[in-house]
Every structure is written in C-alpha cells, then in structure tokens.
Chain A
C-alpha cells in the first residue's frame, strides 16, 4: 500500500515536471494575428474586480468592457524592453 502511494506521488511529480518544461517552450514573442477579444493571461486584480462594483448601466458596462479588452491587448503587446 505504502509503495503504491509513493509510486502515485512519483507519477504526479513526473507529470508536473513535464508540464513545467512544456510551458517554457513557447516563444517569448507576440504571436501573429493576435485576437483582441481573447482575455490575456496577464490581468491585474484591479481590472478583474473593477466592473463588479459598478451599476448595471449596460452602456457603461459595454464601454468599460471594450476599454478593458484594449488594455489587455496592450498588456500582451511587445514592449521591446530588450532592444540591442
């Protein structure tokens, strides 16, 4: 039984290691034809919670959502901090 648990833990750790490697194979660049409506993985907590405390005025909500999408797209953009 003890061996079985250890083997299980070992397998899970191997899987975690494999996933960790895979993440870093992605290019650090922007990808072509980036979608503007796909939420960026980089989203600040401020932005995530911003809309919740506002009223249910749909025009205001629509505008804020549109601006948020542009902010997220900008955040995903290449800032060129590593120019030669």
Chain B
C-alpha cells in the first residue's frame, strides 16, 4: 500500500516536471527590476544597432573576398574554354547587390556615428529624435542585410548551376 502511494507520488511529480520542461520559457527578469521604460528600450536598441553595424561591416568585408575568389574562378573557367556568360552576369548582379548593401550600411554608419537624441554614453537626451534615429538606422541596416543576403544566395545558385551544367557536358557521350 505504502509502495503504491510512493509510486503514484513519483509518477505525478514526473509528469509535472515533464510538462514544465517542454513549456516555452519566458525571458527571465531579475526580481526587483522596474518595468522597462521606452527610454531604456531605445537605449538598448541603439546598442543593438551598433553591434549589428559592426558585424555587418565584417560581412561586407568578407563579401569582397567572395568577389575576388569568384573573379579568379571565372577566369580559370574561361581559360579552360568554358562558356561563363551566365556566371559573369550573376557575378555582376552580386557586385551590384553588395554595392547597394554598402550604401545602406554607410547610411546607418553615418546615423549611428553621432546618434541624434542620445548623448555620448548612449543615454536619451531627446526621446522623439532618439526614436527617429533608431528607426532610420535600423531600416538602413535592414535594407543592407536583405540586399547582401539576396545577392549572396543568388551568386551561390549561379555557381552551383554552372558547375552542374559543366558536369552534364562532361558526362555526355
């Protein structure tokens, strides 16, 4: 009787723990924290945009390496006497995409270099201006992100198609 009771207790606890384990977790807030104000949110967004700007600059620099390598690859394929016209077209589109992404990135860089509505420590001085700063910098970063992502994916598709096409040509009897 005692054993059954103990088993039931263990089973119920097990089921409860299992349910808790798979519940979506909510962000943890330290006890005693005041509710997040609009100013704090804007200050956090500014910090987030500065981090994203820095990482995006790294990716843009990396895209230059990709461009250099693609250029070398196209030359090698040309030297082999292969038709690289489609690949060259895709490469031109990639370079254009990177150029546009860099334009948006530079715009965000300009806004975040001296963010209007914030002091030098990233604290709000004018909420309305700060909101506009965060919005415009975020939009520019977003556009740059989309341009670079799309350009890179399209280049990959083109390179892959080129290689597969060459394979098919080689395998033809």
Give Cα A32 to B20, complex, Å: 33
At the interface, yes or no: B141 with Cβ under 8 Å from chain A? Answer: yes
Q: Are B156 and A80 in contact (CB under 8 A)?
A: no
Given A14-B17, A16-B21, residue A25 in contact with residue B59 (CB < 8 A): no
Q: Are A67 and B152 in contact (CB under 8 A)?
A: yes
When distances are taken between beta carbons in the complex, the residues of chain B under 8 Å from A70 are 59, 62-63, 66, 152
Residue of B11, B26, B52, B131 with most chain A CB atoms under a 10 A cut-off? B52
Chain B: residues with Cβ within 8 Å of the partner, total of: 57
Q: Are B141 and A78 in contact (CB under 8 A)?
A: yes
CB within 8 Å of A: which of B38-65?
41-42, 45, 48-49, 51-52, 54-56, 58-59, 62-63, 65
When distances are taken between beta carbons in the complex, the residues of chain A under 8 Å from B148 are 74
What secondary structure prevails in chain B residues at the interface with A?
helix
Given A60-B73, A70-B152, A84-B131, residue A54 in contact with residue B21 (CB < 8 A): no
Q: Total A-B residue pairs with C-beta atoms closer than 8 Å?
A: 139
At the interface, yes or no: B129 with Cβ under 8 Å from chain A? Answer: no
CB distance from B41 to the nearest CB of A (A): 8
At the interface, yes or no: B13 with Cβ under 8 Å from chain A? Answer: yes
Give Cα A83 to B140, complex, Å: 11
Chain A: residues with Cβ within 8 Å of the partner, total of: 48
- The interface bits of chain A over 1-42 (1 if a CB of B lies within 8 angstroms of the residue's CB, else 0) are 011001101100110110011011100011111101000000
Given A20-B25, A23-B25, residue A71 in contact with residue B156 (CB < 8 A): yes
Q: Are B21 and A13 in contact (CB under 8 A)?
A: yes
Give Cα A24 to B28, complex, Å: 8
Choice from A14, A24, A74 contacting B149 with Cβ under 8 Å:
A74
Other A-B pairs, 17, CB within 8 Å; known A66-B69, A67-B156, A74-B148: A3-B10, A13-B18, A20-B21, A30-B55, A34-B58, A50-B160, A63-B69, A64-B159, A67-B152, A70-B59, A78-B51, A80-B52, A80-B138, A80-B139, A80-B142, A83-B139, A84-B131
